[in-house]
Amino acid sequence: MDQGLINDIISTSVGGAAGGAVAALVVLGVQAISAVWCTRRDAQSIYQWLESNTEKDHHPFRSTRTIASYNNLTEDRVRYVCSQDPRIKLSTGKVEDMWSIHVRQRIETDTTVTDFLD
């Protein structure tokens, strides 16, 4: 075989492999950026909804199901997004699967109401 032909085959193969690798990295980058953008968009939507539909003094918590219903998201998506956003807090009280932007836990007795912040 001619040496020039072998060099052409090798350079074409290397060039094709490099181009394919770059294309794969671009696709992965676009997917990562899209995932981050969607999570931030959903987090902002949930935060704004919690801001307008919770009161610190009376009803600081909302359930995952309620948030999902009003924001047209799945419950799993709400759990994921809320757990990623530092502004939204998961309740550590007796009732599970509740979220708040005001407090972490509320303990109510006959005479007092105690809120625990982070």
In tens, the pLDDT along 20-57 reads 889 999 999 999 999 999 999 999 999 999 999 988 77
The tokens for 19 are 């181009």
Q: Quote the number of domains for the chain.
A: 1
pLDDT in tens, 97-115: 899 888 766 666 666 656 5
Task: Indicate whether this model's pTM tops 0.85.
Answer: no
CATH number at residue 35: 1.10.10.10
Helix axis angle for 3-53 and 64-71, nearest 10°, is 110
Q: Which domain holds residue 9?
A: 3-116
- What one-character DSSP code corresponds to residue 73? -
